[in-house]
Chain A
């Protein structure tokens, strides 16, 4: 599988790209399967969520979902009464947030490694613990910082037109 684009996370005043997909648990627990399709090989899940940790709680603050009919969904489509932010109370797990320079690129899933991983342990949407895992130091001072994808293939998307 091609390296995957991460979800966006705003944490302690900084923007990151994280290698975790908290919305997947929502889809499993709610038995809601969205009508998303992959727009490219680096986004098999068909959506990109933007998250924020506010006062030790995880919130979904934006969403772009690529629908099979060629249209796009936003947060309002999934959570109609909460267009601005959604408290992710369903989520239990550890958010992996790569930080620093890339040490090794792997063109598969979230397998690339970075100088540090910020590991944010979340229990029912609430931050329980934050740890930093040090993976090494880059010997390339001009190397890219933060998680990213090197290459991907985009799929053509058709927008369905209803004849009237």
Chain B
């Protein structure tokens, strides 16, 4: 019986020494950060009583517990390594970006019709009386993308933001050979707002 206990404890000591060595040799950024954090939060002993408690009693208790429960420490270390490796090898998914699809198209329009329809009129004169008012510059930038073989269509689409909330987008889009390309957003409306 004693032999088994000694064997268990010796195996524990060897295993803990190996784990200690691996951690000390770990040069990953995460390990360095953890060591830095430990250094900063470790309480500084103010008197002899505290020094004995922090530097002797606590480590002895910790070591004793580690020796008794060393299999749990091994399992924890293996699990931690596997999780870290899985995290480092994870596939980083780029967030989806909104684009207009064919099913969002509403009707074909002309630039002249759009610019007549979208003139902003304000009785207080607090917006320029031109197509899209304060957004006119963005509209001019969009028009510069129009090529001779493009069609101009209006569109309406529902989009789920990467943070989970839904919005309705309206605007105009260039269609080339039947496929939507560059678009100009004119309206964003949150869906399921507070009512």
Which residues in A have some Cβ–Cβ distance to B below 8 Å?
25-26, 28-32, 54-55, 57, 59, 79, 81-82, 84-87, 89-90, 92-94, 96, 117, 119, 124, 131, 133
Residues of B in contact with A, size category: 20 to 34
Contact A94 B126 (CB under 8 A): no
Contact A29 B195 (CB under 8 A): no
The 5 A-B residue pairs whose C-beta atoms are closest, nearest first, are A87-B126, A87-B127, A87-B122, A94-B193, A85-B126
**Residues of chain B within 8 A of A84, CB atoms compared:** 126
Which residues in B have some Cβ–Cβ distance to A below 8 Å?
120, 122-124, 126-128, 133-135, 137-138, 141, 185-190, 193-195
Contact of B188 among A25, A54, A59, A81 (CB under 8 A): A25
- Mostly helix, strand, loop or mixed at chain B's interface? mixed
**Residues of chain B within 8 A of A85, CB atoms compared:** 124, 126
**Residues of chain B within 8 A of A26, CB atoms compared:** 134-135
- Mostly helix, strand, loop or mixed at chain A's interface? mixed
Pull 5 A–B residue pairs with CB atoms less than 8 Å apart, ordered by A: A31-B141, A82-B126, A89-B122, A94-B195, A119-B194
Most interface-central of A32, A86, A89, A119 (chain B CB within 10 A) = A89
**Residues of chain A within 8 A of B123, CB atoms compared:** 55
**Residues of chain B within 8 A of A87, CB atoms compared:** 120, 122, 124, 126-127, 133-134
Chain B: which residue is nearest A60 at the CB level? Answer: B126
Give CA–CA (A85, B126) in the complex, Å. 6
Contact A30 B137 (CB under 8 A): yes
Contact B195 A59 (CB under 8 A): no
Contact B126 A86 (CB under 8 A): yes
Chain A: which residue is nearest B171 at the CB level? Answer: A29
> Closest CB-CB distance, B154 to chain A, in whole Å?
15
Contact A81 B137 (CB under 8 A): no
Contact of A30 among B128, B135, B189, B190 (CB under 8 A): B135
Give CA–CA (A131, B193) in the complex, Å. 13
**Residues of chain B within 8 A of A28, CB atoms compared:** 185, 188
**Residues of chain A within 8 A of B133, CB atoms compared:** 87, 89-90
